[in-house]
Structures are given as structure tokens and as C-alpha cells.
Amino acid sequence: MEAQAIEDMFSVAVAASAEGRLEDAIAAFQAVLVMSPGHDEALFGLGLALMQTRRFSEAVEPLARAAAAPDAEPIRHQCLAQAQFLTGDFAGAAATFAAVDVVEPVPEGARLTWARAAAYAVLDGSSAQEALDLYARIAGPGAEAPETVARESFGILVAFQRLDAARALGAWLEAHDPADTVRAHELRVLVEPGIDKAPAAYVEALFDGFAERFDHQLVDMLGYEAPALLAELVASHRQQFDRILDLGCGTGLAGPHLKRFGGRLIGVDLSSGMLAKAAERGGYYALVQDEAVAFLESHPGAFDLIVSADVLIYFGELGPLFSAAAAALPTGGLLAVSTELGQDGWTLLPSARYAHGDAYVRASASGFRILERQEIPLRREGADVTVGCLYLLERI
Ligand SMILES: C[S@@+](CC[C@H](N)C(=O)[O-])C[C@H]1O[C@@H](n2cnc3c(N)ncnc32)[C@H](O)[C@@H]1O
């Protein structure tokens, strides 16, 4: 009777999983495991469903137990290794890949993850060059160029707070490509936390290089929704504006959400690559390449609504930006911004972005009254979700 119930529930879980109903699948696999705690196929199914819903940390334990079953297929070990990698356990991932490779060679795609895991794991005790050589040995014929590996790995290691390892790779990159403005700033950030604003040349180069992938990366991969949420917040106070500014408009993700307010929408950004994407999307009356504060200062009283999504993360000190925004709005004009939520004051993070404490934002926003403040999940980062904050401010 019990055996039949387990089998039925397992079938429900497998069907839900096959149909992409992952939450149902997770619940059903868990129900199987309540009845039969060692059910290794349910453990594997649960681990896979958790991976697909990006709950990598939760996936490690069931996958490890599924892989520990007698005669477990190599794929179970490979999935466990992927989960270990995605939670920043690089040494664990490298060991899991190495152990399963003896049983059945790790396929080419997964081999690159293994090679990276092994390289990251040795970076604490070895030089960047030794780590990259190890990467090349494990990756074999499919190995990516060392510059590509080093560049991508730098960001991954920063996201996982492996800052010594990131510094070592950053120094290697600087020696190999001293003209790379983006990497030079990102490395500088790791040693000079007092820099109070992202340099314009860095922002421009970073986003020119990112423009093509930005929407996919932010929206599909990182679950970024700040533009829509800011527009909602504004709409809960007022529905009509004649002159709207999307400050740091990027690829124009906010454009469709700001359309509802009716007025003329102007987008400003430092990056021509991002502006070209915003032009493709359409909906803007004009798109201007300029620095945010400089643009605001040269447009006194020119807007009724200024929206700035995920741009204050490139400013440490907020005073100059708020003063310039106050000057660009008439009394009663609205400013809607998002921040990455920090502790006290402003903090330059290893990611080269800034986080701001709530008290600091309030103290910096002279000339404004805060109408609304809302905490939101801003974007996924590594295995975590970064908390953001929306502010709706009225010019007084
Ligand atoms: C993370 S993106 C956000 C883009 C857009 N607001 C969105 O929500 O999709 C940040 C944008 O701000 C722009 N940016 C950063 N600092 C700037 C500055 N000082 N002046 C003008 N644009 C800036 C960048 O070029 C980039 O396009």
C-alpha cells in the first residue's frame, strides 16, 4: 500500500517536472521523501528541480545524497558538481568532477566548468598564471582563451566575495591588457574603497561592451524589474506628466512603462551603445549622450518627472545628483530612483557598484520630500538576491 503511494507520488513529481511545473514537482518529490527518505531518484529529481528554480544552495544536499547512492549514474555527480560550482564551493566542485571523470569522462561543456572550478580553487595558494595553466590542462581542446577566462572569472570571484583570488586575476589582466579601462577600474575598486563616483570613461566602456547582452542578462537571468516597479510607484501618485526624463536610460527598459504618463520622454545616458539599443526599442522623443549631473544642471526646471532606475549604483556621493535633479524640476515635480540597499552612508562594493544606507539617501535628498520608500529584490547575484530600494520624492 505504502509502496504504491510512493510510486504514485513519484509519478506525479516526474510528470510535473516534465511539464515544467517545478514548484509542484518539488512538493511532490518532497512528499515522496517524507514517505521514503532514502529514495535516491526522488532526491535526484528534487535536486534538479531546485537547480532549475535557481535554488542552488538547497539543491546541493539532495544531489549529494543522490550521488552517494550505490551505482549512481555519472550524471548525478556532474549535477552535484554544477550545484557546488554555482554556490561558490569551487574546491568541492573540482573534487566531484575529478572523481566522476575516472568513471566516465566528463563531457566537454561540463569540463569547462570543472576547469574553472579547479583554477578558482587553487588561486588562493598559486599564482594566476599557474591557475590559468591548470584551467587549460583540464579544459583540453575546448579551452577558452586565457584572457576570456580571466576576465569572466574576475567578475565571478568578486560576486562570490573571493577577493584575494579576484585581485590576483585582476593583476594578471592588467599586465596582459593595460588599456582595458573597465578592468582597471574594477581592480582599483578592490584596493581603493574611497572612490566616490564611477568614472565616466569606465561607465561608458562598461555599458558599450554590455549593451548587446544587457536585456537578456538583467531581465532573463537576474530577474531585474526596477523600471516597471518605479513606474508603478509613480502611477500610484500621479498619472499624467508632460515632460519626462529617463536618467541613465540604458537600453530603454523603462520606456514602455513610462508611456502611460503620456508626455514627451527624453532619455540620457553616457553609453552610446546603450542609447542605440534604446533607439531600437523606440518610445523616446529624444535620446542624448551626456553625463547625468551635467545634463540636469544644463536643464533647469525642464522636467515634471525624472525616473532613474539602477543608476545611483554608479554614484557614491548622492548630494550633487539630488541638487541637480532638484534644479531640473519645478516645485511639485517628482523624482523616482532606485538604489542598492546598504548599511550606513555609501559603500563602494567589490562589484564596483555603490550601496546606500536609507538614512544617507534621506539626508542627501535636500529639496525633496519623500513620498514613498519600498524595498524590492533588485537582482540575483551569485547565489543571493540583492535588496534594492525605490524612492519616490517630491520637489518642495
Ligand atoms: C544598470 S544600467 C540601468 C539602465 C536603465 N535605467 C534600466 O533600468 O534598465 C545603468 C545605466 O546608467 C548609465 N549611467 C551610469 N552612470 C551614469 C552617469 N553618470 N551619467 C549618465 N549615465 C550613467 C549607464 O551607462 C547605464 O546605461
pLDDT value for 232: 98
At residue 356, the 3 state secondary structure works out as: strand
**Confidence class for position 1, pLDDT limits 50, 70, 90:** low
Q: What confidence tier does 383 reach under pLDDT thresholds 50, 70, 90? A: low
Percent of the residues in the chain that have a pLDDT greater than 70, as a whole number? 99
> What is the pLDDT at residue 320?
97
The pLDDT of 358-383, averaged and rounded, is 93
Residue among 251, 269, 280 whose CB has most ligand 1 atoms within 8 A, to mutate = 269
Q: How large is the average pLDDT for residues 115-123?
A: 96
- Closest ligand 1 atom, residue 253 Cα: 9
| Cα–Cα distance measured from residue 213 to residue 46, given in angstroms and rounded to the nearest whole number | 31
DSSP 33: H
Alpha-carbon distances, residue 5 vs 9, 35, 208, 338 (angstroms): 6, 9, 57, 50
Ligand 1 centroid to residue 395 C-alpha, Å: 22
- Around Cβ 118, how many Cβ atoms within 10 Å? 23
Query: Stretch 187-211: mean pLDDT, rounded?
Result: 94
**DSSP 3-state assignment of 369?**
strand
Cβ contacts of residue 161 below 8 Å, gap of 6+? Answer: 350
Short-list 114, 35, 33, 119, CA closest to 74: 114
The pLDDT of residue 283 is above 90: yes
Contact (Cβ atoms closer than 8 angstroms) between residue 119 and residue 136: no
- Please report where in the chains the cell 599557474 appears, as a residue: 130
Residue whose CA lies nearest to ligand 1 atom number 4: 250
Q: Are 218 and 251 in contact (CB under 8 A)?
A: no
User: pLDDT at position 155, please?
Assistant: 87
Q: Is residue 385 over pLDDT 70?
A: yes
Q: In sequence order, which residues have a C-beta less than 8 Å from that of residue 93 and are 6 or more positions away?
A: 81, 82, 84, 85, 113, 114, 117
Summarised one tens digit per residue, pLDDT across range 23-35 is: 999 999 999 999 9
pTM of the full structure? 0.81
Task: Give yes or no for a contact between 267 and 243, defined as CB atoms under 8 angstroms apart.
Answer: no
Distance 342 CA to ligand 1 centre (A): 19
Q: Where are the alpha helices (DSSP H) in the chain?
A: 2-18, 22-35, 40-52, 56-67, 74-86, 90-103, 108-122, 128-139, 146-159, 163-176, 181-191, 200-215, 226-235, 255-258, 272-281, 292-297, 319-328, 358-364
Closest Cα to atom 14, ligand 1: which residue?
248
Report the topology of domain 205-395: Rossmann fold (3.40.50)
Burial of 96 (0-12, 13-18, 19+ CB in 10 A): buried
Q: What is the pLDDT of residues 58-117, one digit of tens each?
A: 999 999 999 999 989 999 999 999 999 999 999 999 999 999 999 999 999 999 999 999
Name the residue among 354, 374, 24 with its Cα closest to residue 197.
354
Average pLDDT over residues 217-231: 92
Which ligand 1 atom lies nearest to the CA of residue 206? Answer: 25
Residue 372, class by beta-carbon neighbours within 10 Å (0-12 exposed, 13-18 middle, 19+ buried)? middle
CA of 249 to the centre of ligand 1 (A): 6
Per-residue pLDDT at 44 exceeds 80 = yes
pLDDT at residue 220 greater than cutoff 90: no
How does DSSP classify residue 140? G
DSSP states of 52-87 = HTT-HHHHHHHHHHHHTSTT--HHHHHHHHHHHHHT
- Give residue-wise pLDDT tens across range 155-179: 899 888 899 999 999 999 989 988 8
Average pLDDT over the chain, rounded to whole? 95
In this prediction, residue 178 carries a pLDDT of: 86
- Using an 8 Å Cβ cutoff, are 267 and 279 in contact? no
The CA–CA distances, whole Å, from 251 to 124, 274, 336 equal 38, 5, 18
Name the pLDDT band for 251 (thresholds 50, 70, 90): very high
Separation between Cα atoms, residue 269 and residue 361, nearest integer Å? 22
| Residue listed under C-alpha cell 582563451 | 145
Q: Would residue 197 be called left, alpha or beta, if left means φ above 0 and alpha means ψ between -120 and 50 degrees?
A: beta
**Band (384; pLDDT cuts 50, 70, 90):** confident
Nearest of 289, 360, 294, 284 to residue 328 by alpha carbon: 294
Cβ neighbors of 25 (< 8 A, separation 6 or more) are: 13, 14, 16, 17, 45, 49
pLDDT of residue 142: 94
The rounded Å distance from CA 248 to ligand 1 centre is 4
Angle (CA) 17 21 23, round 5°: 95
- Binning pLDDT at 50, 70 and 90, where does residue 382 land? low
Q: Is the pLDDT of residue 367 over 90?
A: yes
* Confidence (pLDDT) at 131: 97
Ligand 1 atom at minimal distance to the Cα of residue 207: 25
Q: Provide the pLDDT for residue 335.
A: 98
**For the segment 309-346, what is each residue's pLDDT rounded down to a tens digit?**
999 999 999 999 999 999 999 999 999 999 999 999 99
- Note the pLDDT of residue 381: 77
Compute the distance from residue 145 Cα to the ligand 1 centre, in Å: 30
